[in-house]
Structure 1
């Protein structure tokens, strides 16, 4: 006999995931209320929820970061992870998912959110995480359940198996029938549902829907198939075992119904999780964690408390972790655990240790970061997973409003990056700006709010500088002469420079053909430096590229000449030469690859064309039903807020990657506008 699939072991961890505003936090509140963890469920609108409890989440009424809450149900411990639904904050979900035993995908009967649902299900499918689908807001459904399921199925690569069907009272849903349990329930708001007897048409619908569920299970169970063919009713326990096995093996995605706001369907969901979701031993096996006496854990979230230091939310997969243990991370770093706290939506409770399955907050592991595997053995354990942040799509340049906060700004940004690795901070050496990159408009806005509210740093922001350059079309010869006498040694440098254009992308090339010692060899290096100085800003106001400069002649003074004098002379020569060389503006062109739902492809093409984009072509997205990939080239200046328009056109699901391709000439009115804007800023 194999393991009893309905006898789980150890604390379990369940992720609540789903599209934006599908009701995940409301479901968490209902679970906490129904399990007695809180006296009553809070609400997002009233700002009383245990999830989404940060000031920024309260203000925007949306999930912005991972929230963990631990509760007890029928004598067992569960930690629920409420994951943000917006694609802009999806990194928290991606970092947490490897640690969970199963996921509850909260969605609603809204086809507009189908692409978002598909993105989330794909994450779970790729990680091999068992998943339930909780069809929320069922009291507002306007379609029959069969039609809803049919519309949602394209989002999943495995069958969506209906576990319940609604009981209708006119146009309203009054309850549901559990097809595995063969019982009917009538909803009672904020109370357990009441068992009723099925009769007439409802009984016929139940038999038909149950047979359909069993047929899908029989696709992976020959014994059950034989029973159905011979019209033999399968034992109820065998049906539950099939549901559990096929869920855990990733063969089916069971679908449950409910209304989180009214706490309907919550107990049935909890019982399904208790009987059918994997336990910690199966999750550890999926991740390749060998059974060991030493503790092995994984950091799924990092938080910096305003006055309490750093907290690492972690799950223990094997062994026992004690307060005060020294742990070694897969990254090579080490640290000492200073405090172990139960993960909870309410006040954290301190504990002395954590065992396999526990999700806990570990204090002051300063060197250990999100995504690290760690252990308390003598050697660092191998990394269980690698979390790669999604490439950023929107940027803003920052500066502290008060110069005395410059150092504080740098430290605060570093902490924000630790909490959210999908943020990227770059120091632009050309513009000297600090550039913050993120996953969208709201993502960056929240980062600025956290800088202000949590760290007391007010910043000024503006769009980042575009990498404009200028080059030349014509060759000229120019003398550069620097002569200055001010008592004592003077300054004298004299050079003749040939300045000519180079092919695009060649940069700056310096050569010399001086004969007869017109310019002593020891000054030629200074001439090259001076030429480079002169190219830092051309007549149009931008760095000059693709220029060949040859030192052909010059003169010197035995007393007054110096490196600095020749450097200055060369800079003067370049500065005077460039306006004669027919300068032209260059702008960076990027290759852009956009992924979007097929029904939005026409809109995406129009957006690209309206932003001076050149469409190279589009194709179906490999392995994705109903998605396209559009490729184009586009000026960097037009990409700045592209993601805002793209997300609007794709119901929040479209995204893109980009890479530099080449520099292209800009002429006419567009060039005039760019140059005028640059001069206005410089003034």
Structure 2
């Protein structure tokens, strides 16, 4: 077996919002003597969640980094956000960890909240353990919780402990591998005790279950069990470490981060069974010229500049060294969450690297840029931004680019139809945190509002319309005369311009000006929106040898369009999105209802591939109804429901709703 303390290792602490991840990391730092006094989330005194945005909301909104040592092994713990709105940060951190500790509450009804995380870990083969937290408040049995978790896990769960209860409270545990019992002691390591007689049979049965799970992946162990021979404990630990490294089984532990119960047991499991740096590199297939470094987070700080936080996969790293075609300017480590400058770090370390200006979050680099393997979450929620201070537009654009570099699940879009600057993210809280950072870090204050819907308009009728522009101002005048035929096009066919001019009634050099004038008008039709799906044909006209010009024919074309379009039965078009809603099966009917109550059309639903107990509802949804769909879905699914979308087509909108949209547009343009 490899020496598991030979190189620094990284554990990501993940799990649903409010499961107690930040408190768990605080307990780990206390147990490893990295800190001497334990902080609390309520008092805003924890090592993690130190940013104003996290403390204002009493929730993790970014990855917290803390380094410590345990039994001569160097560890970095990454306390990851639990809210689904900040999953991008969590996914980025998981890309550089050796093992993940999945934290959950002891409530079987909330086990579904772990589905997205467990599915992500299993689909990528990331080794992980489960820590059932808050056992001081447990109303259900550990066995019931494991059964509920098994329904949402693709890997077999193996219980490593049996709770010892007195008067309904968990006061200790029995380790089913070492076959030893321990009683929790406040502020101290657990005390070794005799296994309670009432738990002897259960311990034996649970130990046999564990061995049978391990034997599924170990022929030697299987032969030992079939021969009714008790395997040596060392063989069991080696099998556990091997199966965990290969993501074949998921060990389950329990305890209380608030009361520091079960923390040292979890640490011992990490120390002796979590994959080594070499095993993780093998899993990820990392090869190439040293050093190999992967950036999983980016920070921009005033007066300091850009800091790329990365894991050094191989070769070590020195200050001043060339990396990715740039020079490393400053190395930083994070003992107990504090940022400390250093000069050199070994392979395996999480390190902050100064001024790698061209390196993006997720980049895997060595002597040259290699790849960006991290997944990107699609946009779900948008706000339209407008600076409060005149002249801040350029500053806003540059600051938003830095925010998007820090968090790749943010994106910025300038909507060509509405002229709005849109900030897209994973939900309202996600964007509110981003705007708070925009103000605090970059000193740009904005007003945010619901984005306008990019409606279009088209025509249902045809018309032949003359446009005659004549102006005499002294000297040369202006004259242009055109005859245009306006006809509707099939939906999605777009705009086409033709001419059937013969005999030079409109000189060839003026025809492009006519098309230009038509195009200018199409940016705002009679209903106030961009015009699509029509054809315009220049059929006739006249000119003046002296007074005609490109500008005159451009104005004549606009005049013909302005007078002809209202005669063509203009109609409003609203954008329709193709959506796929992913929810637990018990919430499928609510997802369907969310579509239909928003004027959507259900196309069907099916089981979600690779997700046990989940469905995908497919349908069409007007973009006007999309804005807070994610809020409703998460409210109906304990925060785990989501959707993806793409633009599909434009559809006519008539009646009262269309009238309201047109009136609102007129008021907007008048303002």
Which TM-score band applies after superposition, normalised by the shorter structure? over 0.9
Q: Within 2, Cα distance between the matches of 1:303 and 1:59?
A: 20
Q: Within 2, Cα distance between the matches of 1:280 and 1:177?
A: 30
1:587 to 557, 574, 577: 574
SS at match of 2:145: helix
Residues 459 and 488, structure 2, Cα contact 8 Å, conserved in 1:
yes
1:286 to 280, 283, 286: 283
SS at match of 2:174: strand
Q: Within 1, Cα distance between the matches of 2:463 and 2:286?
A: 70
SS at match of 2:558: helix
SS at match of 1:90: helix
| Aligned residue in 1 for 2:132 | 135
Task: Name which of structure 1's ranges 571-580 and 478-487 shifts more when overlaid on structure 2.
Answer: 478-487
| Aligned residue in 2 for 1:468 | 455
| Aligned residue in 2 for 1:146 | 143
| Aligned residue in 1 for 2:365 | 374
1:627 and 2:614 are equivalent in the alignment = yes
CA shift, 1:6, in A, is: 6.0
Q: Over residues 224-254 of structure 1, what are the superposed CA-to-partner deviations in whole Å (9 max), with x where a residue is unaligned?
A: 3344344432222122112111111221100
1:423 and 2:410 are equivalent in the alignment = yes
Q: Over residues 522-562 of structure 1, what are the superposed CA-to-partner deviations in whole Å (9 max), with x where a residue is unaligned?
A: 11111111111222211111111111111122221111111
1:570 and 2:567 are equivalent in the alignment = no
Structure 2 counterparts to residues 60-79 of structure 1, below 5 A: 60-79=57-76
Q: Within 1, Cα distance between the matches of 2:489 and 2:281?
A: 60
Q: Cα–Cα, structure 1 residues 552 and 222, in superposed 2: closer, same or farther, change >3 Å?
A: closer
2:648 to 648, 651, 661: 661
Indicate the RMSD between aligned Cα atoms, in angstroms. 1.5
Q: Within 2, Cα distance between the matches of 1:498 and 1:206?
A: 87
SS at match of 2:391: helix
1:271 and 2:268 are equivalent in the alignment = yes
CA shift, 1:381, in A, is: 6.3
| Aligned residue in 1 for 2:529 | 542
2:487 to 495, 500, 513: 500
1:318 to 303, 308, 314: 314
Q: Cα–Cα, structure 1 residues 627 and 558, in superposed 2: closer, same or farther, change >3 Å?
A: same
Task: Name which of structure 1's ranges 550-559 and 48-57 shifts more when overlaid on structure 2.
Answer: 550-559
Q: Within 2, Cα distance between the matches of 1:581 and 1:46?
A: 67
SS at match of 1:341: strand
1:159 and 2:156 are equivalent in the alignment = yes
1:445 and 2:442 are equivalent in the alignment = no
Structure 2 counterparts to residues 240-279 of structure 1, below 5 A: 240-279=237-276
Residues 51 and 345, structure 1, Cα contact 8 Å, conserved in 2:
no
CA shift, 1:430, in A, is: 2.2
Q: Over residues 636-678 of structure 1, what are the superposed CA-to-partner deviations in whole Å (9 max), with x where a residue is unaligned?
A: 1111221111111111111111112211111111111111111
1:639 to 622, 626, 633: 626
Equivalenced residues, count:
670
Task: Name which of structure 1's ranges 127-136 and 564-573 shifts more when overlaid on structure 2.
Answer: 127-136
| Aligned residue in 2 for 1:298 | 294
Q: Within 2, Cα distance between the matches of 1:162 and 1:310?
A: 44
| Aligned residue in 2 for 1:396 | 383
Gaps of 5+ in 2: none
Q: Over residues 189-247 of structure 1, what are the superposed CA-to-partner deviations in whole Å (9 max), with x where a residue is unaligned?
A: 23211111123212333222222222222222333334434443222212211211111
CA shift, 1:576, in A, is: 0.3
Residues 5 and 244, structure 1, Cα contact 8 Å, conserved in 2:
no
SS at match of 2:272: helix
SS at match of 1:151: helix
Q: Over residues 583-642 of structure 1, what are the superposed CA-to-partner deviations in whole Å (9 max), with x where a residue is unaligned?
A: 111111111111111000000011100000010000011121000010001111111221
Task: Name which of structure 1's ranges 100-109 and 415-424 shifts more when overlaid on structure 2.
Answer: 100-109
Q: Within 2, Cα distance between the matches of 1:365 and 1:343?
A: 19
2:121 to 118, 121, 124: 124
Q: Within 2, Cα distance between the matches of 1:594 and 1:275?
A: 41
Q: Within 2, Cα distance between the matches of 1:208 and 1:15?
A: 32
Q: Cα–Cα, structure 1 residues 519 and 381, in superposed 2: closer, same or farther, change >3 Å?
A: closer
Q: Cα–Cα, structure 1 residues 344 and 483, in superposed 2: closer, same or farther, change >3 Å?
A: farther
1:92 to 89, 92, 101: 89
Q: Over residues 237-282 of structure 1, what are the superposed CA-to-partner deviations in whole Å (9 max), with x where a residue is unaligned?
A: 1221121111112211000111011111010111111100111111
Q: Within 2, Cα distance between the matches of 1:153 and 1:245?
A: 21
Q: Within 2, Cα distance between the matches of 1:531 and 1:139?
A: 73
1:599 and 2:586 are equivalent in the alignment = yes
Q: Within 2, Cα distance between the matches of 1:567 and 1:641?
A: 43
Q: Within 2, Cα distance between the matches of 1:430 and 1:204?
A: 71
TM-score, normalised by the number of residues in structure 2:
0.97
CA shift, 1:434, in A, is: 1.1
Residues 5 and 245, structure 1, Cα contact 8 Å, conserved in 2:
no
Residues 6 and 241, structure 1, Cα contact 8 Å, conserved in 2:
no
Gaps of 5+ in 1: 329-333
1:347 to 324, 338, 351: 338
Residues 66 and 338, structure 2, Cα contact 8 Å, conserved in 1:
no
| Aligned residue in 2 for 1:331 | none
| Aligned residue in 1 for 2:184 | 187
SS at match of 2:351: strand
CA shift, 1:109, in A, is: 2.0
Residues 5 and 275, structure 1, Cα contact 8 Å, conserved in 2:
no
Q: Within 2, Cα distance between the matches of 1:382 and 1:580?
A: 59
Q: Cα–Cα, structure 1 residues 548 and 284, in superposed 2: closer, same or farther, change >3 Å?
A: same
Q: Within 1, Cα distance between the matches of 2:522 and 2:220?
A: 80
Residues 505 and 546, structure 1, Cα contact 8 Å, conserved in 2:
yes
Q: Within 1, Cα distance between the matches of 2:589 and 2:286?
A: 47
| Aligned residue in 2 for 1:361 | 352
2:54 to 44, 53, 57: 57
